[in-house]
Amino acid sequence: MNLRDCATEGLSYEAPWWLPGGNLQTLWAALGSRRHFGPAPRWQRSRWNTPDGDFIDVDHAQHASAAQAPLLVLFHGLEGSSGSHYAMAFADFAAAHGLAFAVPHFRGCSGELNHAPRAYHSGDFAEIDWVLARFAQENPGRPLLAVGVSLGGNALLRWAGEAGETARARVRAVAAVCSPLDLAAGGHAIGRGFNRQVYTRVFLSTMVPKALKKLEQHPGLFDRAALLAARDLYEFDNLFTAPLHGFRNTDDYWARASAKPVLHRIRVPALALNALNDPFVPATSLPTAQDTGPCVTLWQPPRGGHVGFPSAAGRWGVPGHVRTMPEAVGRWLVAHTA
């Protein structure tokens, strides 16, 4: 059966009446929502040495799971971590359904600066491949599932497209949540208007200090004064992200790292979830069925914001929680372990 025939079964979302619009749905989810129904996730951290002499930190959720239960791996978004609201919500889903769960941190995102003269970026499919290979090696009895959020989702689908048929040797299924699969469209959107004044400032408030610490590690790596003058992600990527990771400039980085051009090459079950009112990801930039192959399911609900999808709770629907999206995405992934 073609995956498209039944792939959207059980995928639905309705925003609470008191949270209209993509910005409110985004901000409430990140700042005011309930992230878990059970106990707060407990983590055990392990450090993995990378092939290039650097390291990443991996947080493993410490709830119980059967030895043969699936392992769900979450790749976080820009400046995210295991403490992000969506990571905690997915950990809660995994605990409720008996799945093992882990969050590998991109370099520099675990609270400790990495060693190498590099950080992380939206198209680092080689890093994704290495991480998934290690998870598969360390968990031979567990079906492996992977979900990426925003930046992490683009990198994950980019990996799946690059890997083609070989992806099946690593994972049973993958999902991307609110990912800017056309990085140029997303990058320009976040650099305008309200997005620039709010979201861009939040991201740069942590990205710039980490970049400056990287410069202390590796003097001469980039122009300090120019970086301090950067006012949007385009300028930051032009000075830091692109040159440190082998791209000519921001335009080259956004073009070569985007997952949208390789979606048709994916040969493992893949879900791409994007709300049509996402402030970061213009609806006009989202992939259509013509951009994908038979293994890719597109779920594009009208509401949800950017990694928001808050849901009503309580007698009057207040306060809200963010378990609905992990529940739907997680169940979709688990359905492909059979």
Q: What average pLDDT does this structure show over 270-290?
A: 97
Catalytic residue among 63, 85, 105, 306: 306
pLDDT digits (tens, 9 = 90+) for 205-242: 999 999 999 999 999 999 999 999 999 999 999 999 99
Instruction: Report the range of poorest mean pLDDT among 4-13, 60-69, 168-177.
Output: 4-13
Q: What average pLDDT does this structure show over 69-85?
A: 98
Catalytic residue among 121, 278, 321, 336: 278
Domain(s) labelled CATH 3.40.50.1820 in the chain stretch across 3-182+258-337
pLDDT of the residue at 18? 87
Q: Is 57 a catalytic residue?
A: no
Centroid of chain to Cα 281: 13
Instruction: Report the range of poorest mean pLDDT among 29-38, 189-198, 229-238.
Output: 29-38
Q: Is 278 a catalytic residue?
A: yes
- Band of the pLDDT at 6, cuts 50, 70, 90? very low
The tokens for 57 are 């930190």
Centroid of chain to Cα 237: 18
DSSP 253: H
pLDDT over 90, % of the chain: 91
Looking at the predicted structure, is the pLDDT value of residue 5 above 50?
no
Catalytic residue among 150, 179, 285, 311: 150
pTM score over 0.85? yes
Average pLDDT score over the chain: 94
Q: Is 306 a catalytic residue?
A: yes
- Contact between 326 and 92 (Cβ < 8 Å): yes
Could you tell me the CATH superfamily of domain 3-182+258-337? Alpha/Beta hydrolase fold, catalytic domain (3.40.50.1820)
What is the 3-class SS of 156-203, one letter each residue? HHHHHHHHHHHHHHCCCEEEEECCCCCHHHHHHHHCCHHHHHHHHHHH
- Band of the pLDDT at 9, cuts 50, 70, 90? low
